[in-house]
Chain A
Amino acid sequence: EPEVTQTPSHQVTQMGQEVILRCVPISNHLYFYWYRQILGQKVEFLVSFYNNEISEKSEIFDDQFSVERPDGSNFTLKIRSTKLEDSAMYFCASSIDREAFFGQGTRLTVV
């Protein structure tokens, strides 16, 4: 069964460092998303991406964040200068008809 895959599963980084979280969406899907879940809190929308551009973003998705689909298969989330409060599970999702399928997540720990 097709699935969304994310790498790495865990990432520990020092505050101020840049991180890139990677995702391979389901191959025929057209819409791509990043969500995050801080420990013990709700899943929160970060950004949606369609037709090679951001279609919607949340207040969380500030100038420190960027997304890219560099090669037609990968979908990346970059955090330029990580802060302690960026520690969370980051989930990539993709959809073809607005039903989103989620990856296993990347646990980001900023120390």
Chain B
Amino acid sequence: TQLLEQSPQFLSIQEGENLTVYCNSSSVFSSLQWYRQEPGEGPVLLVTVVTGGEVKKLKRLTFQFGDARKDSSLHITAAQPGDTGLYLCAGTHWTDKLIFGTGTRLQVFP
């Protein structure tokens, strides 16, 4: 069973702080995606990483895929209240089935 554990589970920070969310597994993934989900809505794709060690930036968000393709991180610089939401990592294992992580709920206070 391929499991993706995210940490921390909950994170409350002040506007302007930096944060990192981790997504870890004992399994190798062929790709890893990060989604953001608002209450009562579907996950919205942020980024896909496929190569070990790959780093992608999306404005203040930096995503990294581990060298061994077993883990990933999401770093947010200077968090804003609009970053509040549930962040989900999801991996594929050489099929297109997404295995979702446990989620990190981020709250950014003004």
Q: Which residues of A contact B (CB under 8 A)?
A: 4, 31, 33, 35, 42-45, 48, 55-56, 58, 89, 91, 93, 95, 98-105, 107
Q: Is B44 an interface residue (CB 8 A)?
A: yes
Q: Which residues of A contact B45 (CB under 8 A)?
A: 99-102
Distance from B25 Cβ to chain A, minimum over Cβ atoms (Å) = 13
What 0/1 readout, one digit per residue, does chain B (89-107) give for beta carbons within 8 Å of chain A? Answer: 0101001111111110000
Contacts from B to A (Cβ < 8 Å): 31, 33, 35, 40-45, 48, 88, 90, 92, 95-103
Set of chain A residues within 8 Å of B33, measured between Cβ atoms: 99-100
B96 touches A31 (CB 8 A): yes
One of B40, B98, B102 near A100 (C-beta < 8 A): B98
Q: Contact: A35 with B98, CB < 8 Å? A: yes
Asked if A44 and B42 sit within 8 Å, CB to CB, the answer is: no
Pairs across A and B, CB under 8 Å, 30 listed: A4-B42, A31-B96, A33-B96, A33-B97, A33-B98, A42-B100, A42-B102, A43-B88, A43-B98, A43-B100, A45-B98, A45-B99, A45-B100, A48-B96, A55-B96, A56-B96, A56-B97, A89-B40, A93-B42, A98-B31, A98-B92, A98-B96, A100-B33, A100-B45, A100-B96, A102-B43, A102-B44, A103-B42, A105-B41, A105-B42
Chain A residues whose CB sits within 8 angstroms of the CB of B48 once the complex forms: 99
The 5 tightest CB contacts between A and B, nearest first, are: A102-B42, A43-B100, A98-B96, A45-B97, A102-B43
Most buried by B among A55, A99, A101, A104: A99
Alpha-carbon separation in the docked complex, A5 to B2 (Å)? 30
